[in-house]
Amino acid sequence: VINPAVGLTDLKKLNRWAREPP
């Protein structure tokens, strides 16, 4: 089971990386 809070944080990170790669 994925922790909703962690999942949301990861989604935000992935979203940011998708737009501006590190």
- Residue-wise pLDDT tens digits, 1-22: 677 777 788 888 888 888 887 6
Burial 4-21 (b: 16+ CB within 10 A, else e): eeeeeeeeeeeeeeeeee
**Would the pTM count as exceeding 0.75?**
no
What pLDDT is attached to residue 11? Answer: 84
Task: Look at residue 16 in the predicted model and tell me its pLDDT.
Answer: 85
Residues 7 and 12: their CA atoms lie apart, in Å, by 9
pLDDT at position 17: 81
